Amino acid sequence: MSIEFKEVSKKYGEITALDKVNLRISAGEIFTLMGPNGSGKSTILRIMAGIESSSTGEMYFNKKRVDPENLNQLRQNSTLVFQKTVLFNTSVEKNVAYGLKIRNYAAREIEELVKEALKTVKLQGYEKRWARKLSGGEQQRVSLARALVLNTDLLLLDEPTANLDPRNSTIVEQTISRINQEHGKTVVMATHNIFQVESLTKRAAFLDGGKIAQTGTAQEIFRSPSKSMASFARLENVFSGYSEMFEGVSNIDIGGLVIKAAFDRVGEISVYVRPEDIILSLNPVETSARNQLMGRIVSVEDMENIVRLRIDAGKIFVVQITKRSLLEFNLGLGSEVYLSFKASSVELL
């Protein structure tokens, strides 16, 4: 199911929640909405679900303009899972079956569909358990199963893994990926989790103050983030300083340390270097990389197969390596290391 916004705005009294938003989401893709609280993410999801209408502008689903005559068709083809889980005070089975009963499914079919939905979110055997007595993560998975059982073309998720532990987050993420890949469902997801954006989605939009500030693939957005995106995501290796040109390269003084960039810019600027673009070694190496620094490890963050190191090289740089490299290099707090990265890896914000 494809969705398109054309100049969509939404006002609540004097407050503008969305300001002339243009957005196109293709059928069968996972699309992510990012942005700080109050940026308009949830409002977009509610309009897509047909729960709210826009103040101005047009919305299309499957290239059909949404109007009062086909609004119910949109509602029947989309399901919204809210950030705050709200379950009925009854069994898991009855919670998941609720929407099917409203749609007059036969009892036998309801039973089969509920079991399949619970299996998808790894809650098989939970049918008779009381929904509100489950953990927060399990309740969120029940809420997701309640949406999946309706088999709509469009699945809308508002912060689907907010406040969940790693196990429940992983199950939810795997479920989202599976229903998209195996069943071709269009998924639109609002999230603060930038790692989730990189791992689950191909395209994303960053909202700021009700406007879309940036769109593109996840790689494009994180490789060349806007200032508001960098602030929102709290990206590491963001530096500000004064840039001067020398021998065709920008030399940026970031406060006692100069880094070189491949772009042509003079004056006060902010730049960003992806942790993945920094090469770490135990000794100085011969390389064409314009930036070569020496520093010491001041913190180590274990992220399963990946390790993120904070290195003091006059400024704090975050470097990402594999856990295997950490062990092979015998690195730890206080270890002296060398960093190198290309001038082309320095991105202008």
One domain for residues 243 and 192: no
Q: CB neighbours (10 Å) of residue 295?
A: 21
pTM, whole model, 2 decimals? 0.72
For the segment 282-317, what is each residue's pLDDT rounded down to a tens digit? 998 888 889 999 999 999 988 767 888 999 999 999
One domain for residues 179 and 253: no
Of 198, 225, 252, which closes a domain? 225
Q: What local confidence, expressed as pLDDT, does residue 234 receive?
A: 59
**Domain CATH code at residue 324:** 2.40.50.100
Of 225, 255, 278, which closes a domain? 225
One domain for residues 242 and 187: no
Which strand ranges, in their side-by-side order, compose the sheet holding 336-341?
A: 279-281, 336-341, 291-303, 306-312, 316-322
Quick one: tokens of 57? 């502008």
For the segment 249-291, what is each residue's pLDDT rounded down to a tens digit? 999 999 889 999 998 889 998 888 888 889 999 998 888 889 9
Residue with tokens 């197969």, as numbered in its chain: 305
d(CA 57, CA 22): 9
**What total of structural domains would you count in the chain?**
2
**Residue 271: which domain range?**
236-348
d(CA 74, CA 79): 10
Quick one: tokens of 69? 């005559």
Of 225, 259, 278, which closes a domain? 225
Q: What local confidence, expressed as pLDDT, does residue 8 receive?
A: 97
- Inform me whether the pLDDT recorded for 233 exceeds 70: no
CB 255 within 8 A of CB 316: no
**Domain CATH code at residue 61:** 3.40.50.300
d(CA 337, CA 307): 15
- Inform me whether the pLDDT recorded for 177 exceeds 80: yes
Residue with tokens 């199963």, as numbered in its chain: 145
DSSP 39-93: SSHHHHHHHHTTSS--SEEEEEETTEEP-TTTHHHHHHTEEEE-SS----SSBHH
Q: What local confidence, expressed as pLDDT, does residue 292 receive?
A: 93
What is the average pLDDT score of the chain? 90
One domain for residues 327 and 210: no
d(CA 123, CA 121): 6
One domain for residues 41 and 161: yes
Q: What local confidence, expressed as pLDDT, does residue 84 receive?
A: 84
One domain for residues 171 and 92: yes
One domain for residues 37 and 138: yes
